[in-house]
C-alpha cells in the first residue's frame, strides 16, 4: 500500500494560526515538508488547486517542479487538477515537463473541482459543469496517447494534427480520476480504466463501498482486469505520538476551517461531538497515534474491498510547520511500515 501526503498550500496568515508569516516562508516550508516526505520514504506528495486567498496552490505544477529539484524518489502529483476550468493541452504539457524534471515521477489527479471559483475566473459557465469535464478529460487522454492529434469538441478550438510537446518519460503518464460522492463519476473512471482517488472528508468511510463497487463493475464490463483499477483515498488526518495528543492538536484548527466553510455555504458550525464521531472506528478522519491510524486504514481497506494508496491531508487544521514535519516523520517511519507488507482486500 502506498502512503503519501496531500497539501493545499495553506496561507496560514489568513487562517488565524500565524498572522506574521510571509507567503515566501509558507512556500519554503511547504517545500521542506515535501523534502521530509521524500526523506522518510513516503510514496507520493500531492498539491491541490484552488483560486482563493487562503491557499497558495493555484499554480500546482510550478510547486511540484520546485519540489522535483529537491527530492529523489517520491512521486509528485496534483490533488486535484480542476480540469473543467483548464486547457487539457496545457495541463498535459505542464505535467509532461514535470515528468522530465523529476525523471519520471509525475502524476496527476484530475477532477471537476469541489470549489467553483475557477469557473468564473477563467470564463466558464457552471451550467456546463459536467459537460466541460467530460470533454476535457477526453482531450487529455487523447493528448496523452497521441503526439499529433486530430480532435474537435464544443469548448475548445479543434486540433488538426498539431504536435503536442514535450512528451513525458512515463508512457503513459499516470492520470487518476478524483471523485467525491457522485455515482456517475465512479462509473466514468471504471469505464475509462483510470485509477480512482476518492476524497472522503466526512461520514463513515465504509459507506463508499457501493460506489467503489460501481467503479470496479464498470471497469470489468469495459474489459479491465482488477489490478488495472487501483483505488486510493484522500483523507483528512494527523498523527502524533499518542491519540490524545493528535486529537487535541488537530481539533481546534479543523473546527475553525470547517466552521468557516459551513458559514460560507450556509451550514452549521462544527461541534466537538461531530469531530469525535469522525475520529471513531468508522469515521473518515485518520487522526491518532501511529498504531491506531494504521489499524484504521487497514479496516477502511477491508471495508472498501482493498485500497492501494492513502493520502493524508493535514494542513486544513492549520498545524504549525514543526508539527507537520513531526507528523510526516511518524507517518513515514511508523505508519507506513505497518501498511506495506501486503494489500488488505475483502
114-125 pLDDT per residue, tens: 778 999 999 999
What average pLDDT score do residues 27-53 get?
97
Q: Which residues contact 230 (CB under 8 A, 6 or more apart)?
A: 195, 196, 308, 309
Neighbours of 341 (CB within 10 A): 8
Residue 84 · residue 139 · CB < 8 Å: no
> Is position 211 within any domain?
yes
> Is position 346 within any domain?
no
60-119 pLDDT per residue, tens: 999 999 999 999 999 999 999 999 999 999 999 999 999 999 999 999 999 987 778 999
> Is position 148 within any domain?
yes
pLDDT-above-70 percentage for the chain: 96
**d(C-alpha 77, C-alpha 95), whole Å:** 9
Q: Say yes or no to pLDDT of 342 above 80.
A: no
Give residue 220's pLDDT: 98
pLDDT confidence tier of residue 13, bands split at 50, 70 and 90: low
Give residue 344's pLDDT: 45
What average pLDDT score do residues 126-136 get?
94
> Is position 344 within any domain?
no
> Is position 328 within any domain?
yes
Give residue 345's pLDDT: 43
Summary mean pLDDT of the chain: 93
- CATH number of the domain residue 286 falls in: 3.20.20.30
Give residue 176's pLDDT: 98
Give residue 115's pLDDT: 77
Give residue 19's pLDDT: 53
Q: Which residues contact 70 (CB under 8 A, 6 or more apart)?
A: 31, 34, 35, 38
**d(C-alpha 103, C-alpha 150), whole Å:** 29
Neighbours of 25 (CB within 10 A): 14
How many domains does the chain fold into?
1
Q: What angle do CA 242, 243, 246 make, to 5 degrees?
A: 90
> Is position 299 within any domain?
yes
Structural domain boundaries enclosing 25: 2-339
Tell me whether residue 161 is exposed, middle or buried, using C-beta atoms within 10 angstroms of its C-beta: 0 to 12, 13 to 18, 19 or more.
Answer: exposed
Amino acid at each position: 500500500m502506498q502512503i503519501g501526503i496531500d497539501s493545499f498550500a495553506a496561507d496560514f496568515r489568513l487562517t488565524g494560526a500565524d498572522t506574521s508569516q510571509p507567503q515566501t516562508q509558507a512556500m519554503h516550508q511547504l517545500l521542506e515538508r515535501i523534502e521530509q516526505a521524500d526523506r522518510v520514504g513516503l510514496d507520493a506528495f500531492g498539491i491541490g488547486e484552488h483560486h482563493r486567498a487562503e491557499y497558495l496552490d493555484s499554480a500546482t505544477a510550478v510547486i511540484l517542479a520546485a519540489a522535483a529539484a529537491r527530492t529523489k524518489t517520491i512521486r509528485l502529483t496534483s490533488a486535484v487538477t480542476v480540469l473543467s476550468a483548464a486547457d487539457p493541452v496545457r495541463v498535459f504539457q505542464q505535467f509532461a515537463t514535470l515528468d522530465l524534471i523529476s525523471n519520471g515521477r509525475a502524476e496527476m489527479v484530475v477532477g471537476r473541482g469541489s470549489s467553483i471559483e475557477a469557473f468564473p475566473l477563467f470564463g466558464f459557465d457552471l451550467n456546463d459543469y459536467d459537460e466541460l469535464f467530460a470533454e476535457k478529460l477526453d482531450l487529455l487522454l487523447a493528448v496523452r496517447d497521441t503526439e499529433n492529434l486530430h480532435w474537435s469538441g464544443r469548448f475548445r478550438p479543434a486540433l488538426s494534427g498539431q504536435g503536442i510537446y514535450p512528451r513525458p518519460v512515463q508512457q503513459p503518464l499516470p492520470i487518476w480520476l478524483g471523485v467525491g460522492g457522485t455515482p456517475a463519476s465512479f462509473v466514468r473512471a471504471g469505464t475509462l480504466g483510470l485509477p480512482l482517488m476518492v476524497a472522503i472528508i466526512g461520514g463513515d468511510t465504509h459507506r463508499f463501498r457501493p460506489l467503489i463497487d460501481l467503479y470496479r463493475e464498470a471497469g470489468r464490463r469495459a474489459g479491465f482486469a482488477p489490478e488495472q483499477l487501483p483505488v486510493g483515498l484522500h483523507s483528512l488526518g494527523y498523527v502524533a505520538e499518542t491519540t490524545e495528543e493528535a486529537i487535541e492538536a488537530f481539533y481546534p484548527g479543523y473546527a475553525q476551517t470547517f466552521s468557516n466553510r459551513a458559514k460560507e455555504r450556509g451550514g452549521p458550525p462544527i461541534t466537538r461531538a461531530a469531530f469525535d464521531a469522525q475520529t471513531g472506528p468508522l469515521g473518515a478522519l485518520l487522526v491518532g497515534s501511529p498504531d491506531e491510524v494504521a489499524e484504521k486504514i487497514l479496516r477502511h481497506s477491508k471495508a472498501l474491498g482493498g485500497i492501494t494508496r492513502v493520502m493524508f491531508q493535514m494542513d486544513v487544521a492549520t498545524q504549525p510547520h514543526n508539527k507537520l514535519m513531526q507528523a510526516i516523520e511518524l507517518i513515514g517511519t511508523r505508519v507506513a511500515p505497518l501498511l506495506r507488507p501486503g494489500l488488505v482486500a475483502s
